Structure 1
């Protein structure tokens, strides 16, 4: 199952973008949704979309993505440190992400 489907119960919207531009200049980068609209969980959704678009990352059904402001929060279990490192790298590349917190991730 895809990241967006599992985490947010949604299919990828048409024209969804990982680094969508805000439809207005007032929206903080972490609150920009998949199509540029305001979304409280915009950053987390765009990170999930980035995970879906990375062919090296399969859906790890024991990991969740959340956000606190501009911080991407990963929670759960990943199979290896390499997978976690790749996920952190992908998440850091999403516009609006100021940091990635992995304190709640277990490897193994």
Structure 2
């Protein structure tokens, strides 16, 4: 089980979709979807940014899924919560999350190391 499946069960991901980029999305009404609300397939999704961060974690071979770290979002801020095995692991996760389009900030203050 990977990040996306564990955090968002039932989410369907595009095969080979780059997680770091949000597709340009325009609903049928013509308004543009904010980057943090773009889902995995370009659709409007309240948790779009968090899902794309989870997918980016899945796509990084150095970042194993630890069942004690969670990804959420508050607007365009990515929020990491839980516990990680090392500071290096947290630094890697934070770096990946910052690289996902639509993320303006990453809050790791709710993560403990050890």
- TM-score grouping bracket, smaller chain normalisation: over 0.9
The question of 1:59 aligning with 2:61 is answered no
Whichever of the two has the greater Rg, that structure is: 2
In terms of mean alpha carbon deviation, does 39-48 or 3-12 score higher?
3-12
- What is residue 14 of structure 1 aligned with on the other side? 14
Partner of 1:46: 52
1:21 is displaced (CA, Å) by 1.1
> 2: distance between equivalents of 1:33 and 1:82?
29
**TM-score (ref. length: structure 1):** 0.94
Unaligned runs of 5+ in 1: none
RMSD: 1.3
Partner SS, residue 82 of structure 2: strand
| Shift of residue 26, structure 1, vs aligned partner | 1.5
Unaligned runs of at least 5 residues, structure 2? none
